[in-house]
Structure 1
């Protein structure tokens, strides 16, 4: 029987690639994206349902959760893949720094709003993180909004580290209830996820010459697909961070349960949970 797999950030890049791969594998894929036209195009090509939500507006995340709960009696895999790197510090209409909200808060809120359904389904939650969590983060639990110190690169690294902290805390809180969470690095992907950024990020991901050094969306998508198709505890270990389909190192902060708990508590307060 096909499983229901919800993929956010699936209007292009590795999300769209994984959606194609999982559809070919016979799974029931649900495509979620920010751009209505691009999301509808991917869904139409695959013959799958789609929904639109822009994570820079948390009310859209709440609306998305309500529609998913109404429409899908099971959610076997939730792939929190939406994210991006941006330019100058920007505050959303919700009052939070854009990079932190899009990369962490949106997925945190969606996951929690779907929590009962996910537990009922013994679901896997797959977080698209990055090696940036280790290489570029300067994580300060007292400055999650980058008010004291900000750069686009650091904000992205902090957001990707938040993905890993969230993964580990999910496993601690709900692993005994049958939920399995995992984070992974898809590679430096030749996609448009840095189109809204400036400087070296934009050059690396949009310049045709630099793009030749990047990993294809098909390969990056296959790493998400491998986790989505895999069996927790057999093919991959819940609570871990993966690269190239193998456990990998990330920031040492990711192993601090006190930081993970505080991030959870502060995030819950921000989104009103």
Structure 2
């Protein structure tokens, strides 16, 4: 049976961290969550755009480069120093990337879309647990995934996607979005009973900077959703009074369960991905 996300409620007194918030879906979500009363931590790579969104929302700007894990560690320290409570962490940063490795030695797509968000979440997990103990039902970790997950396949011996055909980055991107869902499901298992809920979602095909100059994506954007419409699943997962699907679920737009690759249901792969990710970020 499918369920639909209800409309968002008010967010006064709650702190929301949105990564990738300097443009697109992240910016639209940050603006709407601020209008709902949330204190928004605006996380982005570009200083000018990130500070502009922070000014729009009345929130605070935090700069981070997800191609550098030390930058993610600095971000986590800055967030825990700034906020005694964090109610929502929206891991929204990511996107298509060229083939290659980061300065940390990880595949760029793997690190930008999965590993950096994994590290940020685990570094903030104690603060999230503390907040959940004090404000039950308000603490949520949200992953921006994609319908592209259905084309992904996690190869535990090639997480960096350095072998095999590149296919213009689509294979690696689909796999990274599948990893977002596997991470969500393993996080749900590890935080069961803590008061933390976690969900992933597909925003729909949205007219943002995604895809760069790819001519096929550029053509499709003529028929795409606006960033404001694309942000609705994130906003509702953050602000709805309750989410009508158990922690660990994946929403396609506003409806769960969304369609996933068969591997998304493999608990052993989810647990192994967590352990390998932990090793990568040490």
TM-score of Structure 1 vs Structure 2, range by shorter chain: over 0.9
> Higher mean Cα deviation, 185-194 or 258-267?
185-194
Moved over 3 A (4+): none
CA contact (8 A) 1:227 1:236 kept: no
Q: Which residue of 2 aligns with 1:168?
A: 185
**Which residue is 1:93 aligned to?**
103
Which residue number in structure 2 is paired with residue 20 of structure 1? 31
TM (norm. structure 2) is 0.90
Shift of residue 150, structure 1, vs aligned partner = 4.1
Alignment correspondent of 1:125: 141
The 1-side partners of 2:81 and 2:216 are apart by: 41
Q: 1:147 Cα shift?
A: 2.3
Distance 2:246 2:61 in 1: 30
TM, length-normalised to structure 1: 0.93
Q: CA deviation at 1:148?
A: 1.9
Q: Give the Å deviation of 1:103.
A: 0.1
1:149 alignment partner, SS class: coil
Which residue does 1:203 correspond to in 2? 215
Alpha-carbon distance between aligned partners in 1 of 2:216 and 2:96, rounded to the nearest angstrom: 12
> Kindly tell me: are residues 29 and 235 of structure 1, through their superposed partners in 2, closer, same or farther at Cα, counting changes over 3 Å?
farther
1:198-246, CA deviations, whole angstroms, 9 ceiling, x for partnerless residues? Answer: 6xxx2244x3x431121110101112101110245x4342100001211
CA distance in 2, matches of 1:237, 1:28: 26
Is 2:100–2:162's contact at 8 Å kept on the other side of the alignment?
no
Contact 2:153–2:178 (CA<8 Å) still a contact in 1?
Answer: no
Q: Which secondary structure state, in structure 1, belongs to the residue aligned with residue 193 of structure 2?
A: helix
Whole-angstrom CA distance in 2 between matches of 1:246 and 1:211: 22
Counting matched residue pairs gives 262
SS in 2 for 1:212: helix
Aligned to 1:70: 81
Deviations, residues 12-37 of structure 1 (Å, cap 9, x unaligned):
00000011111111111111011111
**2:173 is aligned with 1:156:** yes
The 1:103/1:39 distance shift into structure 2, 3 A limit, reads: same
Residue by residue over 1:69-123, the C-alpha shift from the partner in whole angstroms, topping out at 9 and shown as x without a partner, is 1110000000000001023x11110000000000000000000001100111122
- Match for residue 141 of structure 1? 156
> Over residues 174-196 of structure 1, what are the superposed CA-to-partner deviations in whole Å (9 max), with x where a residue is unaligned?
1222211100000111101322x
What is the alpha-carbon distance in structure 1 between the residues aligned to residue 112 and residue 215 of structure 2? 21
1:251 partnered with 2:268: no
